[in-house]
Copies of this chain bind each other. A is one copy, B any other.
Amino acid sequence: MSVTITDVAMLAGVSTATVSRVLSGGASVLPETRERVHRAVELLNYTPSGVARSLRSRTTRVIGLIVTDITNPFYPDLVRGLEDAVHDQGRSVLFCNAAENVEREQRYLDVLSEQRVDAMVVASSGLTRRWAERLDDFPIPVVLVNVQSPGERFPAVVADNQVGGRIAAEHLVERGYGPIVHIAGALEEGETSVRQAGVADVAGDDLLVAAGDGHLEGGARAMLEIAESIEPPFGVVAHNDLSAIGAMSALHQLGWDVPGQVGVVGFDDIDVTRYVTPPLTSVVQDRYGMGAYAAELVHRLLDGESASGTHLMPVELAVRESTRGPA
């Protein structure tokens, strides 16, 4: 791309300043001149250099995005929502998989600083915790998604997990599943307690809790453990879908029928909820919307508006076979 604004200016018989004016749209240029410039651009197949533009204008129109792991089924939708919105703003996304690797996190923060991105979106609780001070020092807006900021230092977009826990538990009670069991996620994940708090809002002191790990195995283990102190019918709210599916396999192993004796609700509504037997009722988060909203916050901050605090996104229940009601 060695054709520059100077080439266009010469061909059009104007100055580079005029070419710049035409291409930036706003300024007042004679229609005739404008036309000549456009023709020259066309003829030379000129593409302005974003690099030079960025150097001069001190803004890149690029947003940095750091995600824990795009392979985690939670993120593709979120990334899509963010990306769609960011591009609608005429900006682009510089993408980084943090991989929960401290060294790489540091490198990525360096990269985004060097590239002079206009703002950063972080969807990695580990990074947010480990690098809070450094993020504080960033001279650009930082927005968190699916992460609570320690001390609410940064604007954050998260699902309303407490309401999620609540509607899950309420649904089980309504359907006639007696006491409620909660299978928690891994302890270090911040949201565990919030979801659990929502469940507790409904179940009160009757709540039985066992610690899973957010995966199939932990869910199964927690279910087997808790099975020693309870008899059907009862309802299970798991911290996420994988835990719920693990719990269902444990229940199957115990000979307790789902949904005949036990009702199970998961969280996140990942694809497989539709394919397991029985299909799993789950709390749905609007992942695409969360990404899009994060982009919206970035836009506001870049416009000089404020957007602090934690923004809760609504959740809803996708009701399926696993909570059809006791036989």
A contact residues vs B (CB 8 Å cutoff) = 1, 45, 47-55, 60, 62, 65, 69-71, 73, 75-77, 79-80, 83-84, 87, 92-97, 99, 104, 107-108, 110-111, 113-116, 137, 139, 245, 271-272, 275-277
Contacts and interface: CB of A to CB of B under 8 A. Distances in A.
Contact of A76 (B71, B114, B115): B71
12 contacts: A1-B113, A49-B55, A50-B116, A69-B80, A70-B80, A73-B76, A80-B97, A83-B95, A92-B96, A92-B111, A92-B115, A245-B275
Contacts of A55: 49, 51-52, 55
A60 B114 CA distance: 11
A61 to B, nearest CB: 9
A70 B60 contact: no
A48 B113 CA distance: 9
A292 to B, nearest CB: 13
A51 B115 contact: yes
Contacts of A113: 1, 47
A80 B98 CA distance: 10
Contacts of A87: 96, 104, 107-108
Contacts of A277: 277
Nearest to A73: B271
Contacts of A70: 70, 76, 79-80, 83
A95 B93 contact: yes
A69 to B, nearest CB: 7
Nearest to A79: B70
A1 B272 contact: no
Given A60-B51, A93-B94, A116 B1 contact: yes
Contacts of A276: 275
Contacts of A111: 92
A97 B84 contact: yes
A277 B272 CA distance: 12
Contacts of A75: 76
